[in-house]
Amino acid sequence: MSGRTRLTGRLPDTVTAWLARGVIVFLYVPIVVVVVLSFNDSDVTYRWAGFSTRWYGVLAQDTDLLSALRVSAEVGVVSATLATAGGLLAAMGMGRLGPRGRALFSGSLFLPLVIPEIVLGVALLSVFGTLKASLGLTTLVLGHLVVTLPYAALIVLGAHRALDPALEEAATDLGCGGWQRFRLVTVPLLKQALLASWLLCFTISFGNIVMSTFTSGVGTTTLPLRVYSLLKTGLTPEINALGTLLVLFTFVIILGAGLRQMRRVLVGDGTD
Amino acid sequence: MSRTTVSRTLLATSVLTVTALLATACGGSGSTTAASSGGGKNLHVYAWAGEIPDSVVKGFEKETGIKVTVDTFDSNETMTAKLSTGASGYDLVEPSQYTVQQLIGQQLIQPLDHSKIEGLDNLAAKFRDPSYDKGNKYSVPWIWGTTGFAYNDTCIKSATSWKTLFDSAHKGKLYMLDNMLAAYIAGLQVTGHRATSTDKDQIAEATAALVKQKKILAGYNSTNYPQLLSSGQACAAEAWSGTAMAKVVQSNKNVHYVIPSEGGSIWTDGLAIPKGAKNVTSAYAFITYLLRPEVAAKATDDGSSASANQAARAHIKDKDALKNPAIYASDAAIAKADFLLDPGTAMQYFQQGWTKVKAS
């Protein structure tokens, strides 16, 4: 019996193992290609013409691209922070609602997830137009908030729901006021989730192109918009050089800080 | 311990950034107010990436003290969407010719006061008084290019007509641009009509020609066709002039870029001032600056684009570019070339026809 189970189990196991390897290769090949081609001496990305680091030099001089990078970083940090704060507040508020209110509230929070982003973008643009709001950093952050807030709420709400309510009750029993309980018990317990939410929101904001198309304004061309608009004149390995630096940066962040937290949150050990 | 440090650093960074954001926001609005009341020390430009070289912007800033912010867009439609809010904040935009028509129709750009512009005489004849903007009333052409085709003379001796791309002798070695309006330039002109046609029957005729042509094509390609031509994988391909094509024509003597004898087509990206622009004085100063021959020459030397400025040609250092038909097509070649116009309601005929071509 047990022998048969092992036999039938072995073939699918091998297949899934190879499938998994294939998927991993498929996921990482583009990244490797980006890195390799960033050291390309050629003027075009697709043809190899010898090793060179000249595109890193070009990148360091490219003020337009660097200012786009700065805009993206700023917008990413601000919208990730605001979205995570919003997610935390949503989690707190949810506890005070009855079951029906809770369903309605979470439904309205997650609705933007299922509405195509381009619809939200056009809608926001008309709202800004009607209000005669000038497009810029503020509208860009607001647009990114619409996109990131549902994700932040999803993560923080999930983690908060997994918390043992007894911990907060115990804090109250021991004499904590509302603010004290929030600051000393709830937030520390949710720390992992908050960090995971922040990193995810930052990544989403940093790579966003659709919403940025509609909400960016004077002096706020983001990095993805800039790269996309370069397609008309042709991409050079300079973009690969930038991509390589960003990959490196992400690796440092993930290895240095994010990995442990991410795993805990994703595995569900939210109580930590 | 490391976790705490990280979260603290993140928090600190966030707070710093929020503060910075608020500071810039205040600074931004403050300077705008100063500009609108004080006569214009800022200029907000919205342009195609790479078409206004950095060297030009720097030169203008240095000479006038006006601070220029350049944002870039990826399509005319993106730019139109921004302008349609009426509060985009841009003082100068760079629409293509058919978009100039659309922006005029939607009243999103303002008529130019020619008394505030110097150097309009420097423009090449083709760009003075163009069909899409009579008398350059709303726009000043800046750079231009063409749609034609290219061939490799190792398999086609010589070619001057769109018919090459419809010749079954080269079956499986022909490519067309994967772009509706570009395909219809060939389709309309090969059937004896003009590329600007909006006539239902003529477009239907072009559609039939394109459907028939599809059987002998190797494919539709608007990305790496210059390489396919260079390697000989393509005998002939419909092509856009520009950096990518020019490099291949330069490096491979067998590849030739041609404006077809039926006319081909020409496009131009020009400068226009949006309605409600705040720094109009600066915008006029920038247009005048860009019209200077030695400045316009930099569009070719630093930006690898063809300048609409005739007087600039004497100042261009890159003489090879002037001789390269995939950058500067000869005056004779473009004499018959039409500016593609906004097809208006005829757009639906093109779209229906193109769907038919794609589905055949």
Q: What is the pLDDT of residues A115-157, one digit of tens each?
A: 999 999 999 999 998 888 888 999 999 999 999 999 999 999 9
- Verify that B139 and B183 share a domain, yes or no: no
- Verify that B160 and B32 share a domain, yes or no: no
Q: What is the pLDDT of residue A12?
A: 82
Q: Tell me the CA distances in angstroms from B163 to A123, B180, B358, one per residue in order.
A: 47, 19, 20
- Checking if the pLDDT of B15 tops 60, the result is no
Instruction: Tell me the count of A-B CB pairs closer than 8 A.
Output: 121
What value does the mean pLDDT take over residues B264-282? 94
- Checking if the pLDDT of B118 tops 60, the result is yes
Q: How far is CA B16 from the centre of its chain?
A: 40
- Verify that B164 and B75 share a domain, yes or no: no
Closest chain A C-alpha to B265 CA, distance in angstroms: 18
Please report residues of B whose CB lies closer than 8 A to that of A226: 49, 72
For an interface test with A, which of B4, B5, B14 has the most A Cβ atoms less than 10 Å from its Cβ? B14
- Verify that B203 and B337 share a domain, yes or no: yes
- Checking if the pLDDT of A251 tops 70, the result is yes
- Verify that B258 and B151 share a domain, yes or no: yes
What value does the mean pLDDT take over residues A43-61? 84
B98 annotated as a binding-site residue: yes
Q: Does A219 contact chain B (CB < 8 Å)?
A: yes
- Verify that B157 and B293 share a domain, yes or no: no
CB of A161 closer than 8 Å to CB of A190: no
| Domain span including residue B239 | 145-266+329-359
Q: What is the pLDDT of residue B295?
A: 96
Q: What proportion of chain B, given as a percentage, has pLDDT over 90?
A: 70
Contact yes or no for A217 and B21 at CB 8 A: no
Going by the DSSP 8-state scheme, the letter that residue B96 receives in this structure is: B
Least confident of A170-184, B152-166, B225-239, B303-317: A170-184
**B68: helix, coil or strand?**
strand
Q: Judged by CB atoms within 8 Å, which residues 237-266 of A form the interface with B?
A: 256-257, 260-261
pLDDT confidence of B50, banded at 50, 70, 90? confident
Please report residues of B whose CB lies closer than 8 A to that of A259: none
For an interface test with A, which of B8, B31, B68, B74 has the most A Cβ atoms less than 10 Å from its Cβ? B74
Please report residues of A whose CB lies closer than 8 A to that of B96: none
Average pLDDT for chain B: 87
C-alpha angle A252-A258-A261 in degrees, rounded to nearest 5? 160
- Verify that B160 and B290 share a domain, yes or no: no
- Verify that B80 and B32 share a domain, yes or no: yes
Contact yes or no for A77 and B73 at CB 8 A: no
> Pseudo-torsion of CA B199, B204, B210, B215, nearest 10°?
180
Which residue has better confidence, A46 or A101?
A: A101
Q: What proportion of chain A, given as a percentage, has pLDDT over 70?
A: 89
Q: Does A228 contact chain B (CB < 8 Å)?
A: yes
CB of A216 closer than 8 Å to CB of A222: yes
C-alpha distance across the termini of chain B, in Å: 65
**B135: helix, coil or strand?**
helix
- Checking if the pLDDT of B335 tops 70, the result is yes
* Tens-place pLDDT, residues A72-91: 999 999 999 999 999 999 99
* Percent helix, percent strand, percent coil in chain B, to nearest 5: 50, 15, 35
Which residues of B touch chain A, with CB atoms under 8 Å apart? 2-3, 6-7, 10, 13-14, 17-18, 20-21, 24-25, 28, 44, 48-51, 54, 69-74, 78, 81-82, 84-90, 224, 227, 242-244, 247, 303-304
Contact yes or no for B18 and A128 at CB 8 A: no
Q: What is the pLDDT of residue A8?
A: 58
Nearest to B84 among A129, A132, A198 (CB): A129
Please report residues of A whose CB lies closer than 8 A to that of B14: 77-78, 80-81
Nearest to A125 among B6, B85, B243 (CB): B85
Q: What is the pLDDT of residue A200?
A: 93
Please report residues of B whose CB lies closer than 8 A to that of A216: 71
Q: What is the pLDDT of residue B38?
A: 40
- Checking if the pLDDT of B37 tops 50, the result is no
- Verify that B100 and B150 share a domain, yes or no: no
What's the CA gap between A146 and A121, in Å, rounded?
Answer: 9
Going by the DSSP 8-state scheme, the letter that residue B166 receives in this structure is: G
Contact yes or no for B28 and A191 at CB 8 A: no
CB of B138 closer than 8 Å to CB of B283: no
Contact yes or no for A219 and B28 at CB 8 A: yes
Please report residues of B whose CB lies closer than 8 A to that of A134: 87-89
Please report residues of B whose CB lies closer than 8 A to that of A44: 244, 247
What value does the mean pLDDT take over residues A157-184? 88
Q: What is the pLDDT of residue B148?
A: 95
Query: Which chain B residue shows the shortest CA-CA distance from A135?
Result: B88
Nearest to B210 by CA among B185, B228, B235: B185
What value does the mean pLDDT take over residues B312-323? 93
**Residue B12 half-sphere exposure, CB side, CA atoms within 13 Å?**
6
Q: What is the pLDDT of residue B31?
A: 38
Q: Does A198 contact chain B (CB < 8 Å)?
A: yes
- Checking if the pLDDT of B40 tops 80, the result is no
Going by the DSSP 8-state scheme, the letter that residue A133 receives in this structure is: P
Count of residues making up chain A: 272
> Pseudo-torsion of CA A47, A52, A54, A55, nearest 10°?
40
Classify residue B206 by burial, with Cβ atoms within 10 Å: 0-12, 13-18, 19+.
buried
- Verify that B7 and B66 share a domain, yes or no: yes
- For the domain that residue B50 is a member of, what is the CATH number? 3.40.190.10
Number of domains in chain B: 2
pLDDT confidence of A95, banded at 50, 70, 90? confident
Q: What is the pLDDT of residue B13?
A: 44
Neighbours of B121 (CB within 10 A): 9
What value does the mean pLDDT take over residues A216-243? 85
B359 Cβ neighbours under 8 A, 6+ residues apart: none
- Checking if the pLDDT of A178 tops 60, the result is yes
Nearest to B313 by CA among B301, B302, B341, A93: B301
**B147: helix, coil or strand?**
strand
Q: How far is CA B151 from the centre of its chain?
A: 23
pLDDT confidence of B74, banded at 50, 70, 90? confident
Nearest to A257 among B6, B20, B71 (CB): B6
Closest chain B C-alpha to A151 CA, distance in angstroms: 19
What's the CA gap between B269 and B52, in Å, rounded?
Answer: 11
Q: Judged by CB atoms within 8 Å, which residues 149-168 of A form the interface with B?
A: none
Contact yes or no for B82 and A217 at CB 8 A: yes
Closest chain A C-alpha to B205 CA, distance in angstroms: 31
Fold (topology level) of A63-267: MetI-like fold (1.10.3720)
Contact yes or no for A260 and B3 at CB 8 A: yes
Q: What is the pLDDT of residue B108?
A: 95
- Verify that B222 and B342 share a domain, yes or no: yes
- Checking if the pLDDT of B51 tops 60, the result is yes
Contact yes or no for B87 and A128 at CB 8 A: yes
C-alpha distance across the termini of chain A, in Å: 41
Helices (H), ranges, chain B: 2-38, 54-64, 76-83, 97-105, 180-190, 200-214, 225-231, 243-251, 280-291, 293-301, 319-323, 331-334, 347-359
CB of B244 closer than 8 Å to CB of B226: yes
Q: Which long-range contacts (CB under 8 A, 24 or more apart) does B214-218 make?
A: B214/B357, B214/B360, B216/B166, B216/B167, B216/B168, B216/B170, B216/B171, B216/B172, B216/B174, B217/B174, B217/B175, B217/B176, B218/B172, B218/B173, B218/B174, B218/B175
